[in-house]
Amino acid sequence: MADLEYVRVEWDGDLAVVTVDRQEKLNALNAEVVREIGTVFEELRTDDDVRGVILTGAGDKAFVAGADIGELATMNSVSGVQVSRDGQDVFRAIERFPKPVLAAVGGYALGGGCELALACHMRLASEGARFGLPEVGLGIIPGYGGTIRLARLVGLGRAIELTLTGDMVKADRALDIGLVSAVVPQENLLDEAKAFLRKVTKNGPVAVRMALESIYRGLDTATGEALDYESSLFGLLASTDDMKEGMQAFLEKRKPDFKGS
């Protein structure tokens, strides 16, 4: 793995745990942190030993408390576009990551931190987690995809409410509105995240990848075209060893042993 100052990667079997570690600033995203997250996901993308990724923040106070306000304060209208684009590119790469990515959110997930969690495929929160998009209170808007992804996840009305008020949402409300899949005690967050993600990674890796591909493509495409694409992927999967193994295992009343091919 490349030289990293703010991001750690650990492995647990075929899961990679990526930790943003800048605790003195509540893991806030300066340009270097964003760059390192991008580097890590780029390396993990082509690593065949990785079947799923957990993204989390160091310590129990914050997942990520937002983009670095000290850095943002110095931007002008030209560099501002670039800051937004750089973050969007990295977050988009996470969203389009070919293996499942789960955000394990303990503590604050604010601004860019909330947007980072939104770019992941799934989210798990600790009881003390807090989500919010406080940008308008700083005179800006969410610039890492938050104005698009929050509405897709929790619906237009709630997204507008949260974006315009900048209110923080506690974990139980985040669960109620579908922002997270489950809420667990802080001390179990990582173990629960691993168990949760393994419910996905025990399935056929190519099928999981194609399911993500179809779901996200469907968001950006007219229904007819999206359905055609789904059918193509469905047909493509019929040519995989994983499909043969999955169905054979069912018929033989045993667990499948997927090879990802």
156-165 and 146-154 helices, crossing angle to 10°: 140
Active site residue 5: no
Rule CB under 6 A: choose which of 17, 34, 67, 174 binds ligand COA.
67
Smallest gap, in angstroms, from Cβ of residue 161 to ligand COA?
A: 17
User: Residue 245, class by beta-carbon neighbours within 10 Å (0-12 exposed, 13-18 middle, 19+ buried)?
Assistant: middle
- Which CB, 65 or 103, lies closer to ligand COA? 65
Total binding residues for ligand COA by CB under 6 A? 16
Q: Give SS3 for 37.
A: helix
Verify binding: residue 26, ligand COA, rule CB under 6 A. yes
Rule CB under 6 A: choose which of 12, 13, 70, 155 binds ligand COA.
70
Joined tokens for residue 174: 């985040």
Rounded to whole angstroms, the Cα distance separating 81 from 78 reads 6
Task: Indicate which residue of 36, 43, 135, 230 is catalytic.
Answer: 135
Residues pairing with 225 in the sheet: none
Verify binding: residue 150, ligand COA, rule CB under 6 A. no
Active site residue 161: no
Alpha helices in the chain, H assignment, sequence order = 31-45, 69-72, 77-95, 112-119, 146-154, 156-165, 171-176, 189-201, 205-219, 223-237, 241-251
From 36-44, 103-111, 119-127, 250-258, span contacting ligand COA (CB under 6 A): 103-111
Give residues in contact with ligand COA (CB under 6 A).
25-26, 28, 65-70, 108, 110-112, 134-135, 138
Active site residues: 115, 135
